Amino acid sequence: MEKEYSIYLGSNKIGTTRLEKADAPMGVVFGEINFVEKESKYDLIKSYCKDNNIELEDDYPKDKLISTRTIDSLVIRNEEGFEIKGIGNQISGMDSEGFEISIEGIAYPFYEEEFPHHVKVYNEMFKE
């Protein structure tokens, strides 16, 4: 069964993710965000970034599409409450199509312990 990870912006839980996709050799995981709140996710992310001086990678208000740079106060925790830390993270997406969270540069051996299924899929790509 896939684990469910909690996503926090500051002290507020904004949603969950399964971190269902990966680039295992690079220590990267990403996945769809299931938000707690039902209102515009674009507005939530944009106002948080504006209020906290977080630089945006892309912002298209007309399409409600946004992509952040690393948000230091973005915290992803596993079911045991342990923080999944990497060297960077982003949220990107648009209201009409959904949003994704990514964490880059998660160190080994923690990556392998937390995401053995992603490592296994990657290793099986090279088997004869």
* 38 — pLDDT class (breaks 50, 70, 90): confident
Instruction: Output the pLDDT for position 128.
Output: 72
Residues 6+ apart with CB under 8 A from 37: 14, 44
Query: What is the reported pLDDT for 1?
Result: 64
pLDDT in tens, 50-69: 999 999 999 999 999 999 99
Domain borders along the chain are 5-124
Average the pLDDT over 88-97 and give the result: 96
